[in-house]
């Protein structure tokens, strides 16, 4: 435990209501515990100290929505601003992925400490992996935990058939996300950053990729950029080094499937235990999105049949329907 001097400083600051002194003493306690290799305790104390900020004010969202840029020719908004609602505990991913996300959050929560050493928190992230495995959810979680709006870049609006207009739209987007702090999600990022040396390469594609590379290089805003792709093999090789962190997502393993089933069925009365290995094995190879879709179908069937409990038969029926509607080679759907 922390030494007596630090504990006295902590208690005195709390009694006096001195927030600055309390934070300094708390950070000293955390540092001491980490030096003692008490990493779990140090992590818990950091979460208590920094906590989760209050929700984003609705007036701020309204202001941002009014400032969203639009495509010149079609008048379509280039960005959709949302209030995030998913929290870190909603993210059922591998330990490596969760550790990466927690590290990014810690860097932003302790930004002042980093800046004291001439460093900045990671502001450009690349999420890659199979569709439906938590990349978009992770971006929303980051926004929620950092008390920032989530701005989803609408690629259908950004990409234009007019020569040079796509790059112009991208400039508008980067100007927008540079003007105020938020989490900007570029989903399906490979549509903007495909390999330029492919057989189907043409001048406009090269111009767009070059524009993306330059804008990411030049970006100095306070927003956090998250680029997500299901097809990392299509990305231009020069893209990767533009990001501060790259995070690989994957299908859930058996432990994650069990946790996801328990979470999604927590409020549902049922005649089986969701974490049973026989139940978990039925979802092997499926993505997070696949599993959630199957569970929704099973619950709907239970309700429409007027049943009080979810039965194993409801799950099996929903799984059969999922398999009929999916290609045989596809076990990770978006």
Average pLDDT over residues 239-250: 95
Q: What average pLDDT does the chain have?
A: 86
Average pLDDT over residues 138-156: 93
pLDDT at 330: 45
Look at residue 70 and give its three-state secondary structure.
strand
Residue 330 placed within a domain? no
pLDDT at 202: 64
Residue 28 placed within a domain? yes
Number of structural domains in the chain: 3
Last residue of a domain, one of 217, 248, 279: 248
DSSP 241: G
Residue 173 placed within a domain? yes
Q: Looking at residue 292, which CATH number applies to its domain?
A: 1.10.8.60
pTM, two decimal places: 0.76
DSSP 183: E
For residues 86 and 33, membership in a common domain is answered with: no
For residues 244 and 275, membership in a common domain is answered with: no
Give pLDDT tens digits for 45-70.
777 777 655 454 555 677 788 889 99
Lowest-pLDDT range, 40-49, 171-180, 257-266, 296-305? 40-49
Give pLDDT tens digits for 311-328.
999 999 999 999 887 654
- Please determine, for residue 173, whether its predicted confidence score (pLDDT) is greater than 90: yes
- Please determine, for residue 221, whether its predicted confidence score (pLDDT) is greater than 80: yes
For residues 95 and 226, membership in a common domain is answered with: yes
- Rounded to whole angstroms, the Cα distance separating 83 from 147 reads 9
Average pLDDT over residues 188-211: 77
- Please determine, for residue 261, whether its predicted confidence score (pLDDT) is greater than 90: yes
Q: Looking at residue 216, which CATH number applies to its domain?
A: 3.40.50.300
- Rounded to whole angstroms, the Cα distance separating 103 from 55 reads 21
Residue-number span of the structural domain to which 299 is assigned:
254-325
Phi, psi of 310 (to 5 degrees): -80, 130
For residues 180 and 232, membership in a common domain is answered with: yes
Average pLDDT over residues 285-299: 94
Pairing of strands 150-153, 224-229: unpaired
For residues 275 and 212, membership in a common domain is answered with: no
For residues 30 and 97, membership in a common domain is answered with: no
For residues 9 and 132, membership in a common domain is answered with: no
For residues 284 and 216, membership in a common domain is answered with: no
Residue 193 placed within a domain? yes
- Nearest to residue 161, comparing CAs of 66, 76, 67? 76
The answer to whether the CB of 283 falls within 8 A of the CB of 257 is yes
For residues 243 and 259, membership in a common domain is answered with: no
Give pLDDT tens digits for 111-146.
999 999 999 999 999 999 999 999 999 999 999 999
For residues 140 and 224, membership in a common domain is answered with: yes
For residues 44 and 129, membership in a common domain is answered with: no
- Please determine, for residue 206, whether its predicted confidence score (pLDDT) is greater than 90: no
Residue 270 placed within a domain? yes
Q: What is the pLDDT confidence band of residue 1, given thresholds at 50, 70 and 90?
A: low
Give pLDDT tens digits for 10-49.
778 777 777 778 888 888 888 887 777 676 677 677 777 7
Residue 198 or 167, more confident: 167
Residue 71 placed within a domain? yes
For residues 215 and 85, membership in a common domain is answered with: yes
Residue 334 placed within a domain? no
pLDDT at 223: 94
Residue 292 placed within a domain? yes
């Amino acid at each position: 435990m922390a030494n007596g001097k630090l504990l006295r400083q902590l208690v005195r600051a709390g009694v006096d209501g001195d927030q600055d002194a309390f934070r300094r003493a708390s950070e000293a306690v955390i540092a001491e515990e980490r030096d003692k290799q008490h990493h779990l305790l140090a992590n818990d104390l950091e979460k208590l100290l920094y906590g989760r900020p209050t929700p984003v004010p609705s007036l701020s969202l309204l202001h941002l929505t009014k400032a969203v840029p639009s495509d010149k020719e079609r008048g379509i908004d280039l960005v959709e601003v949302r209030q995030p609602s998913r929290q870190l505990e909603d993210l059922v991913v591998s330990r490596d992925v969760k550790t990466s996300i927690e590290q990014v959050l810690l860097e932003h929560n302790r930004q002042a400490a980093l800046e004291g050493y001439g460093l900045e928190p990671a502001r450009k992230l690349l999420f890659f992996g199979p569709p439906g495995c938590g990349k978009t959810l992770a971006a929303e979680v980051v926004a929620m935990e950092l008390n920032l709006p989530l701005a989803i870049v609408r690629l259908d609006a950004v990409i234009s058939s007019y020569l040079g207009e796509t790059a112009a739209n991208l400039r508008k987007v980067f100007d927008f996300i540079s003007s105020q702090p938020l989490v900007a999600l570029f989903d399906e990022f490979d549509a903007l950053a495909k390999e330029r040396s492919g057989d189907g390469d043409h001048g406009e594609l090269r111009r767009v990729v070059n524009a993306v590379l330059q804008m990411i290089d030049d970006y100095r805003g306070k927003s956090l950029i998250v680029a997500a792709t299901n097809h990392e093999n299509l990305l231009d090789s020069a893209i990767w080094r533009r990001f501060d962190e790259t995070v690989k997502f994957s299908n859930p393993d058996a432990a994650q499937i069990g946790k996801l089933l328990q979470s999604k069925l927590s409020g549902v009365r049922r005649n089986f235990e969701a974490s049973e290995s026989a139940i978990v094995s039925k979802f092997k190879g499926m993505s997070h999105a696949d599993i959630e879709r199957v569970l929704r179908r099973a619950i709907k069937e239970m309700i429409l049949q007027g049943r009080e409990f979810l039965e194993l038969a409801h799950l099996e029926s929903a799984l059969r329907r999922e398999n009929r509607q999916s290609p045989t080679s596809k076990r990770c759907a978006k």
